Amino acid sequence: MLAAVGLVYAALERMRRSPFGRVLRAIREDEVVAAVAGKPVFRFKVQAFAIGAGVAGLAGVLFAHYLAYVEPNMFLPQESLFVWLALILGGSGNNRGALLGSLVLLGLLEGSRFAKDVIPFLTGVRLAAAQQILVGVVLVTMMIRRPEGLLPEKPGIRLTREENAMRVGFIGLGNMGAPMAGFVRQAGFSLMVHDLRRDAAAPLLERGAVWANSPREVAAQCDVVCVCVPGPPEMRTVTLGAGGVLEGVRSGVVVIDHTTNDPAVVRDVGAALSTRGAQLLDAPLDGGREGALEGQLNLFVGGDEAILRSVKPVLDTFSRSVVWVGEARRGVGHQDRPQCARHERRLADRRVHDPGGQGGCRDAAPRRGVRGRMHRGSEHDVHQAYAGDLVSRRLHRTFRPGACPQGLRPGGGPRPSP
Amino acid sequence: MIAYLTAILTLVGVRALLTLGLNVQWGLTGLVNLGAVAFFAVGAYTSALLAVGGVSLLLAWPAGIALAAAAGAALALVALRLREDYLAIVTLGFAEVLRLFLLNEAWLTRGANGVTAIPRPLHAWFPASIISFT
């Protein structure tokens, strides 16, 4: 019997660590993301359920052949609940927890049997009731004191000491920047912020962020500087202008440009920073305001891969995916795929609603760029964002043909294939 | 005393297996199974009935596991097409339906009398002092 438990434990532990187990946990955390990543979610779920049922079947087999007797009322619904209790007690998501939980639960049930000898008035019937009370009390106490169970699942991402010491700066706390910075702070990084309007930073300051008076100050104090400003002119001012990042930057600092940027500006800023020993990563955002609010942005990062790896913990705090697209800083070229689709749809709509108007933006890039798994997911978002705009009639406010997203301008260089 | 401990440990082992099974469903994948006992029963009854009917244990045991897994797959295939909450309800219902089935379909399951004299394969290998508790 114990050998069987050992075997199953070993097998399941192996499964938990395998790619299959990873996918299952991904599905648990967020089904849509797993689906976007190209996993057949439904099939995985059915498989997982069948495996779990099979293990329960094995338990039944052993139980029957151990007792040499089975009858229907051994299988009352409360038995299922006891299994849940054991799992919750031990800590779910974790096989050792499951083992410990069963041991503790049965220890409670069996151990309380001896209480009859110690406590007077306790008859068999009363004892049975008392056992259930005891189990209930233990469960409630657990839920209050230690909801993750006796042996909690180890978190996949944990900040190392170096990461804890990483000081992150955030410049630009607008629609996108403010929620992104919020996620960085929430993850435990020390955060310094700057924006043209100080009141934009108020909620972050309340949560422990530190205010900086200029981009220069941010660059002087931080190891990682995220810049999230409206467009190329602002980017140029914030980095190369008076009181800008370049004036304060030290060697080894990583500047991350989240702006949907003009490749020329990216090149200039990158070159200027490298003269001071700092590095620029180009990481335009996809996912819109909704993505930023949920911490589910898609990032297409251009720049040195090792540098990206060193700052990825920061980016992970507000991203669904962080994709490295190459040494050359042309994240813009990648990002414009979903953006193109969105742009085109708005443009088409604009033409419908505004015949003979000033519509007609020649440089909307072709839709064929939107392909592949990653981009299928993004295109789905595009539909959503577009539908949202239509419903809320934001379209005419948010879209002006003259203000095409910068990434859509031709000349962004050859696009790397996905 | 040692017999008692063996019995307890065996029952802990059975429960541990059940919990491990649920851990795959809920702990790893986030599927709510409120009827774990149903698959437990499928395994127990399948193997017990086959073994009592004279089928080799080498066949009866895998059959129990396979049928439980198949039942799980069938339920999941149907219920998971709907929203996830339905799986919880379906499993809960399935467990009760199965129990009543076992109770009432006496021609197959021997009803409330239960299945007795299920072979105990390792019984002969251990001294009686260890396993004679039950």
A33, A113: one domain: no
Partners of A70 in the β-ladder: B115
Q: Is it the case that residue A173 has pLDDT exceeding 80?
A: yes
Q: Residue A383 has what pLDDT?
A: 46
DSSP-based three-state secondary structure for A350 = helix
B38, B53: one domain: yes
Number of domains within chain A:
4
CA A337 from chain centre, in angstroms, equals: 22
Domain of B18 in residue numbering reads as 1-30
A173, A248: one domain: yes
A168, A152: one domain: no
Residue A417 in any domain: the answer is: no
Which residue did the predictor score with more confidence, A371 or B64? B64
Tens-place pLDDT, residues A248-304: 888 888 888 888 777 778 888 888 888 888 888 888 887 778 888 888 888 878 888
Residue B37 in any domain: the answer is: yes
Q: Residue A139 to residues A85, A214, B27, B66, B118: CA-CA distances in angstroms? A: 7, 53, 17, 33, 35
Interatomic CA distance for residues A218 and A246, integer angstroms:
10
Interatomic CA distance for residues A281 and A298, integer angstroms:
15
Can you give chain B as a three-state secondary structure string?
Answer: CHHHHHHHHHHHHHHHHHHHHHHHHHHHCCCCCCCHHHHHHHHHHHHHHHHHCCCCHHHHHHHHHHHHHHHHHHHHHHHCCCCCHHHHHHHHHHHHHHHHHHHHCHHHHCHHHCECCCCCCCHHHCCHHHHCCC
Among candidate residues A304, A297, A336, the one with its CA nearest the CA of residue A318 = A297
Among candidate residues A77, A62, A8, A59, the one with its CA nearest the CA of residue B40 = A59
Interatomic CA distance for residues B74 and B82, integer angstroms:
14
A263, A208: one domain: yes
B47, B90: one domain: yes
Residue B119 in any domain: the answer is: yes
A12, A125: one domain: no
Residue B111 in any domain: the answer is: yes
Q: Is it the case that residue A209 has pLDDT exceeding 50?
A: yes
Residue B131 in any domain: the answer is: no
DSSP-based three-state secondary structure for A256 = strand
In this prediction the pTM is 0.50
B77, B117: one domain: yes
Task: Read off the pLDDT of each residue in A201-210 and give the average, rounded to a whole number.
Answer: 84
Q: Is it the case that residue A155 has pLDDT exceeding 70?
A: no
A266, A168: one domain: yes
B57, B111: one domain: yes
Q: Residue A3 has what pLDDT?
A: 64
Domain of A11 in residue numbering reads as 1-75
Residue of A56, A70, A90 with shortest CB distance to B18: A56
| 59-78 in chain A: CB under 8 A from chain B | 59-77
B20, B74: one domain: no
B16, B39: one domain: no
Domain boundary among A26, A60, A75: A75
Task: Read off the pLDDT of each residue in B42-65 and give the average, rounded to a whole number.
Answer: 83
B76 touches chain A (CB under 8 A): yes
Q: Residue A166 to residues A71, A177, A186, A247: CA-CA distances in angstroms? A: 62, 19, 14, 21
Amino acid present at A341: A
B13, B43: one domain: no
Residue with tokens 């800083």: A329
A190, A316: one domain: yes
CATH number at residue A316: 3.40.50.720
Tens-place pLDDT, residues A108-126: 777 766 666 666 666 667 7
Number of domains within chain B:
2
Q: Residue A24 has what pLDDT?
A: 65
Q: Is it the case that residue A86 has pLDDT exceeding 60?
A: yes
Tell me: ipTM over 0.85. no
Sorting pLDDT into bands at 50, 70 and 90, what band is A203? confident
Residue B109 in any domain: the answer is: yes
Interatomic CA distance for residues A246 and A240, integer angstroms:
6
Residue A418 in any domain: the answer is: no
Query: Do residues A333 and A413 make contact, with C-beta atoms less than 8 angstroms apart?
Result: yes
| CB-CB neighbors (< 8 A) of A69 in chain B | 114-118
| CB-CB neighbors (< 8 A) of B65 in chain A | 54, 57-58, 61
Residue B134 in any domain: the answer is: no
Among candidate residues A263, A384, A232, the one with its CA nearest the CA of residue A335 = A263
Residue of B13, B27, B45 with shortest CB distance to A1: B13
Distance from CA of B129 to the nearest CA of A (A): 15
- Judged by average pLDDT, the poorest of A3-12, A75-84, A204-213 is A3-12
Q: Residue A365 has what pLDDT?
A: 33
Tens-place pLDDT, residues A219-248: 888 888 999 888 788 888 888 888 888 888
A371, A325: one domain: no
Domain boundary among A156, A172, A197: A156
| 79-108 in chain B: CB under 8 A from chain A | 80-81, 87, 92, 95-96, 98-100, 102-103
A152, A168: one domain: no
Residue B132 in any domain: the answer is: no
B82, B107: one domain: yes
A287, A352: one domain: no
B18, B41: one domain: no
A273, A167: one domain: yes
Residue A415 in any domain: the answer is: no
A40, A135: one domain: no
Domain boundary among A282, A312, A329: A329
B62, B45: one domain: yes
Instruction: Return the percentage of chain A with pLDDT > 90, whole number.
Output: 0
Q: Check B112 against A71: CB less than 8 A apart.
A: yes
Q: Residue A391 has what pLDDT?
A: 45
Residue B128 in any domain: the answer is: no
Kindly give, in sequence order, each residue whose CB lies less than 8 Å from that of residue A13, ignoring residues fewer than 6 positions away: A95
